[in-house]
């Protein structure tokens, strides 16, 4: 089951203890001792996940942004900016899988695209998630927001029975509490779900309605009693309105944390996963945000998102939970295709100067805002970390912070960057990071400053030196054939071995698949 260069790479990683130390093998700092000596208990953890927010949509990351994000900026000022942070994919469903499981999504049976609202959950039964990991360590675990990993609605023949509980959903994947939406709003079944039930079932119907403030669409009353005559009609609850999501989600998140505050102060911390629906379509900022910033409705929507993050921060301070709460803010992929319109109309670049956006294997598709704040834990806040990290790395990082060794069949692509948080002198070097797009089904591998985009059936290999060419304008594959060969071999090895971390080889969920055009089925089976 071996592959070129894999055995040596895996053994070297094992020897250096890269996964558990995240410090390039350096023991002068001693992360283990730092964790043992800490004066605080296990931190509360909040992961705030934006939807389609680009690297350039945080003013701390983009000096030329046409709006301000003071609360996101505060996370950077009082924490660490991971300026080379990446989502696991370039669209919604697979990125969320990578975030919650620490495993690359293309290792599953789903190699491309996103799930419907009503679908078998992409996270297999029994697979460890951030929620189940932390619940096993005594955490209260809650999720408020957009799921989009599949859930199964109870059916009587072809009709959903709203009196019966929903299955294969967040409460089955490690979360004690769930309030939110099953998927993006344009996938329908829009209602306010709490636990396993819709509070008011989606028994009416609507379709995309023209927005009077942006180029996309809205979902708002009046709704219809039948889908007849509605092109692209979707089910919606009578009390659902698209622009209420951010307020409702933040209200519910604060209410849930408030109910767990005493536990958090007496040794039972909480984990909150807060995936917002913004600034994904429909772009629908509340009226009180209209006119703010200089990037139209989109900028207003990001400003509203920032406002709600500020509400979370204010709650933590007022409740005495601020110091020992670790907050991660990031986004599931780069900006939607409306980004060229904003450059033309407002001079605002949601990509932050990167190449392309959502659905692209280039940096604009998966290099995203990645901010971590933890007053009790982070040493020398205000730092920037410019080396690659992935959202899939949260699994190993949080496991290390709560002193858990991951089993071999969990977090196969998760590498701990805990040392970066605790040691200003950390010399953490991540093993190659893999990117993937769900449009052209291309794979990229980044090691240090070198990024190789593997060939597919239509396009040749591309090589970029990101240190010199952050915008990926000059393909230097022809002048660096050995680098192409080396990175191709490493990519093949990481696929075949079923993991990019040291440990017992694991299986991908399928055999060889057609998008691996640079390797053969025989290579896959070696």
Per-residue pLDDT tens digits of the chain, which is 526 residues long: 333 333 333 333 333 333 443 444 444 567 777 777 776 789 999 999 999 999 999 999 999 999 999 999 999 999 999 999 999 999 999 999 999 999 999 999 999 999 999 999 999 999 999 999 999 999 999 999 999 999 999 999 889 999 999 999 999 999 999 999 999 999 999 999 999 999 999 999 999 999 999 999 999 999 999 999 898 899 999 999 999 999 999 999 999 999 999 999 999 999 999 999 999 999 999 999 999 999 999 999 999 999 999 999 999 999 999 999 999 999 999 999 999 999 999 999 999 999 999 999 999 999 999 999 999 999 999 999 999 999 999 999 999 999 999 999 999 999 999 999 999 999 999 999 999 998 889 999 999 999 999 999 999 999 999 999 999 999 999 999 999 999 999 999 999 999 999 999 999 999 999 999 999 999 998 7
Residue 307 lies in a domain: yes
Residues 365 and 388 in one domain: yes
Last residue within a domain, chosen from 422, 448, 469? 422
Strands (E), 83-227: 85-86, 140-146, 155-156, 159-160, 177-181, 193-194, 197-198, 204-206, 209-210, 217-218
Output the CA–CA distances (angstroms, integers) from residue 469 to 473, 475, 483, in the order listed.
Answer: 7, 9, 16
Query: Domain tally for the chain?
Result: 2
CATH number, domain of 141, equals 3.40.720.10
Residues 415 and 435 in one domain: no
Cβ pair 80, 372 in contact under 8 A: yes
Structure tokens at 496: 């075949």
Residue 312 lies in a domain: yes
Last residue within a domain, chosen from 377, 399, 422? 422
Residue 35 lies in a domain: no
Is the preceding omega at residue 34 within 30 degrees of 0, hence cis? no
Of 96, 173, 189, the closest CA to residue 181 belongs to 189
Count of Cβ atoms closer than 10 Å to residue 464 Cβ: 25
Residue 408 lies in a domain: yes
Residues 439 and 307 in one domain: no
Residues 383 and 479 in one domain: no
Give the residue numbers spanning the domain of 308: 9-25+46-422
Residues 199 and 151 in one domain: yes
Residues 261 and 386 in one domain: yes
Is the preceding omega at residue 309 within 30 degrees of 0, hence cis? no
CATH number, domain of 509, equals 3.30.1120.10
79-82 and 383-385 strand pairing: parallel
The pLDDT of residue 28 is 54
Residues 254 and 154 in one domain: yes
The pLDDT of residue 498 is 98
Residues 244 and 380 in one domain: yes
Distance CA(106)–CA(113), nearest Å, equals 10
Whole-model pTM? 0.94
Contacts of 307 (CB under 8 A, 6+ apart): 71, 289
Strands (E), 346-428: 370-373, 383-385, 389-390
Residue 33 lies in a domain: no
Cβ pair 363, 73 in contact under 8 A: no
Residues 391 and 511 in one domain: no
Residue 91 lies in a domain: yes
Q: Using DSSP, how many helices (H) and how many strands (E) does the chain show?
A: 14, 22
Residues 368 and 496 in one domain: no
Check residue 289 and report its DSSP letter: G
Last residue within a domain, chosen from 399, 422, 445? 422
Beta bridge partners of 45: 271, 326
Residues 406 and 436 in one domain: no
CA 200 to chain centre: 29
Contacts of 66 (CB under 8 A, 6+ apart): 293, 294, 295, 299, 346, 347, 348
Residue 334 lies in a domain: yes
Residues 149 and 198 in one domain: yes
The pLDDT of residue 29 is 67
Residue 34 lies in a domain: no
């Amino acid at each position: 089951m071996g592959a070129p260069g894999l055995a040596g790479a895996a053994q070297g990683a094992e020897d250096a203890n890269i996964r558990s130390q995240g410090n390039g093998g350096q023991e002068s700092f001693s992360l283990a001792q730092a964790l043992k000596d800490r004066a605080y208990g296990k931190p509360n953890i909040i992961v705030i996940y934006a939807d389609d927010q680009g690297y350039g949509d945080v003013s701390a990351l983009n000096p030329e942004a046409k709006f301000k994000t003071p609360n996101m900026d505060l996370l950077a000022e009082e924490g660490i900016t991971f300026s080379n942070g990446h989502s696991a994919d370039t669209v919604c469903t697979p990125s969320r899988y990578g975030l919650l499981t620490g495993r690359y999504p293309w290792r599953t049976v789903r190699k491309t695209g996103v799930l419907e609202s009503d679908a078998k959950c992409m996270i297999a039964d029994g697979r460890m998630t951030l929620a189940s990991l932390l619940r096993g360590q005594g955490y209260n675990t809650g999720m408020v927001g957009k799921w989009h990993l599949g859930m199964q609605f109870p059916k009587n023949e072809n009709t959903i029975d709203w009196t019966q509980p929903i299955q294969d959903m967040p409460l089955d994947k490690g979360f004690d509490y769930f309030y939110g939406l099953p998927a993006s709003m344009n996938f329908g079944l829009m209602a306010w779900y709490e636990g396993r039930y819709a509070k008011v079932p989606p028994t009416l119907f609507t379709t995309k309605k023209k927005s009077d403030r942006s180029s996309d669409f809205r979902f708002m009353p009046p709704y219809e009693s039948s889908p007849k005559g509605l092109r692209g009609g979707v089910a919606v609850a009578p009390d659902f309105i698209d622009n209420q999501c951010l307020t409702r989600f933040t209200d519910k998140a604060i209410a849930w944390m408030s109910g767990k505050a005493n536990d958090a102060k007496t040794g039972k911390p909480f984990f909150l996963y807060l995936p917002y629906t913004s600034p994904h379509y429909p772009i629908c900022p509340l009226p009180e945000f209209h006119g703010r910033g200089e990037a139209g409705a989109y900028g207003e929507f990001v400003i509203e998102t920032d406002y709600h993050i500020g509400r979370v921060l204010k709650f933590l301070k007022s409740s005495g939970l601020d110091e020992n709460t670790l907050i991660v803010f990031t986004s599931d992929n780069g900006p939607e295709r409306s980004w060229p319109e904003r450059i033309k109309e407002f001079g605002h670049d949601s990509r932050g100067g990167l190449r392309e956006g959502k659905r692209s294997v280039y940096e604009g598709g998966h290099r995203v805002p990645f901010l971590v704040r933890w007053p009790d834990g982070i040493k020398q806040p205000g730092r920037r970390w410019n080396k690659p990290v992935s959202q899939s790395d949260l699994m190993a990082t949080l496991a290390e912070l709560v002193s858990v060794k991951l089993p071999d069949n969990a977090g196969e692509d998760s590498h701990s960057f805990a040392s970066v948080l605790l040691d200003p002198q950390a010399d953490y070097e991540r093993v190659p990071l893999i990117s993937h797009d769900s449009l052209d089904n291309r794979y990229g591998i980044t090691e240090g400053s070198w990024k190789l985009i593997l060939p597919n059936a239509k396009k040749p290999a591309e090589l970029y030196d990101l240190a010199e060419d952050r915008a990926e304008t000059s393909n230097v594959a022809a002048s660096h054939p050995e680098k192409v060969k080396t990175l191709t071999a490493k990519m093949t090895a990481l696929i075949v071995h079923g993991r990019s971390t040291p440990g017992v080889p694991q299986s991908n969920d399928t055999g060889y698949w057609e998008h691996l055009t640079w390797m053969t089925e025989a290579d896959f089976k070696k």
